[in-house]
Each structure stands twice: as structure tokens, then as C-alpha cells.
Chain A
Amino acid sequence: MWYYRTPTVVFGEDSLSFLNTITSKKCLIVTDKVLEKTGIMDKVRKQLPDNTRVMVFSDIGQEPTFSQMTSAMDSIRSFGPDHIIAVGGGSVIDTAKVILFRYARPEMDIYDLTPLEHLGIKEAAKFIAVPTTSGTGSECSWAAVVSDEMEKRKNELASAEILPDYAILDPSVVLGLPPRQTVSTAVDAITHAIEAYVSTWRNFYSDALAEKALELITGNILTVLQDPGNTEARNSVHIGASMAGSAFSNSQIGLAHALGHALGAIFKVPHGTAVGLYLPAVVEFNSLEVGERYDRLNSIFQGPFRKDCLADTLRHLFSKMGQPTSISGATISMDSYIAAKQNLEKLAMESTGVVANPRESESGDIRRLLEAVMN
């Protein structure tokens, strides 16, 4: 017995106009300071029905902590939104998830945000996610990453009740995504698809989405990087990234995420860059258990990029994309990495990413994977 959970997905050109069809008296828009000043926010606001009152919360930095995410809860409760619309990347959408949780259940602790608790929050407000990056998959997932600055840790919280009701995938909002973020988020999405496909919790639904996601992303990402205004290619990567998010959300992440979250917590490396750094080494480690499944994924890559094995194909594609495959490439000093290795190992071992990874891992395996990217 298992579930397949997904928001209603509104996709393709002009899909933002869906917002004109909602019935909302009070709408909270969660975004960040940069996006607040761009045309994307204007587009969103213009689509809302004329009589909708709007409150904007944009005080969200990179990798926000729980206190940052919930810093405006008093104002939000006074406003009393019937809709929460997240407009942004993974941090923004995850913040909106935490806001929805605290809005509905102010008495609960952040760590009550687990799939093991019934939260009863779905009636508090409708939740719409408009991703402005193509990669995190947060719009289709029931997970939220919350940084803990004191403990230098990224907490992976989850509940089916924080899954958005709607995900709007409008390619026009990602046309202006800068190259560095385009690469980092696409690498994150590729990692989602690959980890979902080999997770021990995989299923027919997650398999189908992971395969199609990989085809859409890897078949179009280089076109996007060469021609950022190519709407068709952007649309394909955007939809593929969302499919990859749905795939991992309905199976599980794996060791590349366990290691990437640990690295990101200590060195503030962008999430996609961090997970992609370890992905080829994790694929080599897991090949003993799921080699045939990796071969199937490898066959999805287009001819010119495909190598004999998935790990080499990934290294080749990543080098074309500008994604680092070693610590030095990620601009982390070797001395500081070595000094942090023990802590990285502990954080990775404590990640939920170890639970459904296809090959079981002990601390020695984690250590070797950390060392595999030191060349």
C-alpha cells in the first residue's frame, strides 16, 4: 500500500491566468525581496480578481531558518488570508508551507511538521505555488527544508498536508532566470529524477515521472543555456523539473541529497550545486544494487552526451553545463572541507536521505563518498 500525491498542475504558456479564476477575498503572497521588485510580481498581482485584498511577505533570505520564515505570523493572522500564493524558488515555497502550518496550528512545534502527525491544516487556506526556478520541485512535494543556523543543519520536514493545492508552471516566469541558477536548479531536478528512480520506495508512478523528467530536462537544458529566451525549451525543463519533484516526493530522495544537505548547511553552497557534486559518486556507489536501472536511465540521455555508464554521462553533461564535480570546483577550500568532514559525515548519516537509498550505507561509506569529490 502506498499513495501517489500531487497538486492540480496548471502548465504551459499563459497558465498564470488561472489566478483570475480563483475566489479569494484575502490573499497572502509569499515571495522574496528580489522577485518583489520584478515584473513577475506585477504579472501575478494583475491576474488576481479585482476585489482581492493582497498582503505580501517577502522578508525571506537564502536558506531561511524557522524564525525567519515565521517572522510575520502576527500580521498574517491579523490579515486572515483565505489563499496563500508562493511566488519564488524552493526557499520561498518551503517558507509558504511553514507559514500555512503555523497559520493553521500556531500551538504546534516546528518538529510536529512530520508525516507521522495529523495536522488538520488543509481548511485554513488554499495553497498555490508558482515556481520561478526550474528545479526544486517544491511546488509538487510535501517536503520543506528549514535551516537551523544554531546547529548548522538543514532539517527535512514533511507532511502530505503541506502539499500545494495548485502548482502553476508558467514558462514566462523562468525566462529571465540567470544562468548560474538555471544550472544549479536543473542539476537539482536531474538528481531528484535519478534518486526517485532507484529509491527503495519507488513505484510505477514515480518511475514514469522520473523517466519523462530526465528526458525533458537533459534534452533541453543545453538549449536553454545557449538560448535563455527559448520558451519551448524553458517550458520543457520547467515541466520536467516539476515531474522530477513529484517523482521524488512520491518515492524518496537518496544519498546525494543526504550529502548535499550536509554540505549546504555548513558551506552555504547552493542546493542544486551541492547535491549534483555528489551525484556521480553516489551513482557509482549504488550501481552494485541498481546497475540495470541506471543503464535504463543512461539510455534516456541524447547520443552525443551519453557515455558507457550513467556516472560518466553525468560528469560529461555537468562539465558542459558548468556544474562542479569536485570540491575545488565548488570553490570550497580543501582545508576547510577536511576540517568539516566529521561533521559532514554525522549530518549526512542523520538525513532522511539514507532511509530509502538503494544501497545501505554505513558511516565508512559516507566518509568515502565525501572523499570521492576531493580530487
Chain B
Amino acid sequence: MPVFPSKDWVASFIEEINRNKKYEDAAKDWEGDFNFVVEKDQKFPETVYIYLDLYHGKCRGGSLYKSNEAPKAAFNYSGPYQNWIRLIKGEFDPLKAVLVGKFKLKGSMMKIMRYTGAAKELVRTANLVDTQFQ
């Protein structure tokens, strides 16, 4: 069972994204990469980036990076580690979590507002990964 966040976890996440027909359907026209930023908090010492290259409903690749090595992405979805745990466990709605300040979303708002369904499905796919937390 991969530990979140780790390179193994990212690999499993990408597999789940590419298996997820709902995501593929909702994001069939999507072009743009994403960074999921896991910010340090009391239980997690160092901020890391999960980079995902997303294109037409599939993930073409991605990996885990330290914050100073992470590639720039069109969109950043970021929040502290403790909130990621709750998100992955399905305790947070990914969009509602942004509206109440548990997560931040940066990038072209014009684009993201047209793909709210796809963004929600993408984040929810993390819930499908059999995950062990640190």
C-alpha cells in the first residue's frame, strides 16, 4: 500500500486517473498540467509537489517533487497535509474545500470554471488509491 505522498503513491494515482472513465468523459477536452501541493504542517515537515501532465482525459505522466524542484504547472491545488488526508478519505468536497479556505486553487479561473466537474473528479480519484498515511 503506497504511502501518501510518495513516488509510488503518485504512480498509483496516475494509474487510477487513466482507469477512471468518469474523469476521462468530464475532461475529454482538457489540456493543462496540475500541481497538487502538499504543504508542510505539524505532522508533515516539508512541502512537496505532485505534478500531473493532464491531456484530453488522460494523465500522460507525473511525479513527486520537492518544492524547489517542481515544474511550473497551469494550476496549483494546495493545502496542508492534514487537509489532504481528509480530502483523500472523502471527508471534504474538493471544491467546497476551496470555498471555505481549506485548500487554495491558482490558475486560469476562466478555464477552471468550465471544468469544475472534471476537477472534482480528478481530486476524487485520489480517494480510489489504496493509501497509507504517514
Docked complex: B1-36 residues within 8 A CB-CB of A: 21-22, 25-26, 28-29
Could you tell me if B110 and A111 are in contact, using CB atoms closer than 8 angstroms? yes
Chain B residue with Cβ nearest A113: B109
Q: Does A156 contact B (CB under 8 A)?
A: yes
Stretch of A221-229, A276-284, A350-358 with 4 or more beta carbons under 8 angstroms from chain B: A350-358
Decide if B70 is an interface residue (CB 8 Å cutoff): no
CB <8 Å contact, B98 and A116: yes
- B108 CB contacts on chain A under 8 angstroms: 111
B88-131 with Cβ < 8 A to chain A: 93, 95-96, 98-100, 102, 104-105, 108-110, 113-117, 120
- Say whether A111 contacts B113, CB under 8 Å: yes
Bound Cα distance from A109 to B102, whole angstroms:
25
Q: Which residues of A contact B104 (CB under 8 A)?
A: 116
Query: Which residues does chain A contribute within 8 Å of B98, judged by CB atoms?
Result: 115-116
Find out whether the CB atom of B113 lies under 8 angstroms from the CB atom of A2.
no
Residues on the A chain within 8 Å of B114, using CB: 350
Q: Indicate if A13 sits at the interface (CB-CB under 8 A).
A: no
Contact status A156-B113, CB under 8 Å:
yes
When distances are taken between beta carbons in the complex, the residues of chain A under 8 Å from B102 are 1
B117 is contacted by which of A115, A156, A157, A355 (Cβ under 8 Å)? Answer: A355
**Nearest chain A CB to B120 CB, angstrom units:** 6
Interface band, chain A: 20 to 34
Let me know if A354 and B100 touch, CB within 8 A: no
- Establish whether residues A355 and B116, one from each chain, have CB atoms under 8 Å apart when the complex forms: yes
Q: Which residues of chain B have C-beta atoms less than 8 A from A362's C-beta?
A: 21-22, 25-26
CA distance A216 to B52 in the complex (A): 50
Q: Would B109 and A355 count as touching, CB distance under 8 A?
A: no
Q: Which of A2, A117, A157, A354 contacts B116 (CB 8 A)?
A: A354
Flag if B22 contacts A111 (CB, 8 Å). no
Give the Cβ gap from A179 to chain B, nearest Cβ, in Å.
35
Instruction: Decide if B115 touches A350 in the complex (CB within 8 Å).
Output: yes
Query: Do A352 and B113 touch (CB < 8 A)?
Result: yes
Within the assembled complex, what's the spacing in Å between the Cα atoms of A352 and B117? 7
Q: Select which of B26, B100, B113, B115 is within 8 A of A1 by beta carbon.
A: B100
From 17 to 60 in chain A, residues with beta carbon under 8 angstroms from any chain B beta carbon are none
Query: Which of A111, A346, A354, A360 contacts B109 (CB under 8 A)?
Result: A111
> Closest residue to A362 on the B side, CB-wise?
B25
Q: How far is the CB of B115 from chain A (nearest CB, A)?
A: 7
What 1/0 mask marks residues of chain A from 98 to 112 whose CB sits below 8 Å from any chain B CB?
000000000001011
Annotate A175-190 by CB proximity to B: 1 below 8 A, 0 otherwise.
0000000000000000
Q: Which residues of chain A are within 8 angstroms of B110 by Cβ–Cβ distance?
A: 109, 111
A112/B117 in contact, CB under 8 A: no
A235 interface hit (Cβ, 8 Å): no
Q: Which residues of A contact B120 (CB under 8 A)?
A: 355
Q: In the bound complex, how far is the Cα of B110 from the Cα of A109, in angstroms?
A: 10
Contacts of B100 in A (CB 8 A): 1-3
Proximity bits, A339-368, B CB within 8 Å = 1, else 0: 000000010011010110000101100000
CA distance A2 to B93 in the complex (A): 11
Interface check A200, CB cutoff 8 A: yes
10 sample A-B contacts, Cβ–Cβ < 8 Å, listed by A number: A1-B102, A3-B100, A111-B109, A114-B109, A116-B99, A116-B109, A350-B114, A352-B113, A354-B117, A362-B26
Sorted from nearest, which 5 A-B pairs have the closest CB atoms? A111-B110, A350-B114, A354-B117, A111-B109, A114-B109
What 14 new A-B contacts, CB under 8 Å, besides A352-B116, A363-B25?
A: A1-B100, A3-B100, A111-B108, A116-B99, A116-B105, A155-B113, A201-B96, A349-B26, A349-B117, A350-B114, A350-B115, A352-B113, A355-B117, A363-B28
> Which A residues are within 8 Å of any B CB, using their own CB?
1-3, 109, 111-112, 114-117, 155-157, 200-201, 346, 349-350, 352, 354-355, 360, 362-363
